[in-house]
Copies of this chain bind each other. A is one copy, B any other.
Amino acid sequence: MSTEALTPDRILEATEEVLRRYGPGKATVVDVARALGVSHGSVYRHFRTKAALREAVTERWLEQAVTELAPLAEGPGPAAERLTTWLSALFAAKRRKAGGDPELFATYEVLIGESSAVVAEHVDHLVGQLARIIEDGHRQGEFAAPETGFTMIARAVFDATDRFHDPVHAAEWSAPDIDDAFAAVLALVLRGLRA
C-alpha cells in the first residue's frame, strides 16, 4: 500500500479493527501498521504516540453520536419535541452501540476510562447541542428563563438523563421497564424546563 493513501481516518478505522480483534490490553501500533500493510513509522507520522492514537480513536467513536445528533438540535420545530427527539436518539444510539457489538463497546469503555479530557470535550459538545435547543425554547416562549444560563441548565438535563446515555449504565438498558423509566424522567425534565 502506498503511504499517500494513508489518511488519519484509514489509520483510525484499522485501529478500531485491531482493538476489536486483540482487545484494549494487547493492541499495539505495530498491529495497526501490519493491518494497513505499512511500517509503524508511517503510523507514527500521523499519531506521534500510542496514547495519541488511542485518544484519537476514542474521540472518533464518541463524536459519531455528536455528528448524528447535530441536525436534531438545529430545528426548526417546538423545543420540547426537539429535546425529546434528541434525548431519545442519544439513548437509541448508545443502546445500539452497547447491544450491537458488546465487545467493542467494552473495549471503548476501557479507552474512555483512560481519556478523561476527550470525554469531557465530547460531553461539552453534547451539552452545547442541548443548550441550543433550550435557548431556542426560551426564545419561542416555550421554556422558562434559566436562572443560571443555558449551558448550566443543559448540563443539568444531561446529568438528569445520565442513566440513559452514560455507558456505566449499559447493563440496565435491556431491563424490561427501561423505556417507561426513560419516559418518566423525560416528562419530569420537560416540566422542569417549561415556562
Contact = CB atoms under 8 A, between A and B. Distances in A.
A148 B192 CA distance: 16
Interface stretch (A22-30, A35-43, A183-191): A183-191
When all copies of this chain in the complex are counted, the total is: 2
A156 B192 contact: no
Interface string A59-97: 000000000000000000000000000000000000000
Interface magnitude class on chain A? 20 to 34
Interface in A97-127: none
Interface string A122-148: 000000000000000000000010011
Nearest to A178: B159
A52 interface: no
B184 A152 contact: yes
Given A148-B187, A155-B181, A188-B193, 9 more contacts: A144-B191, A152-B180, A152-B184, A153-B188, A155-B184, A156-B181, A160-B188, A163-B166, A192-B192
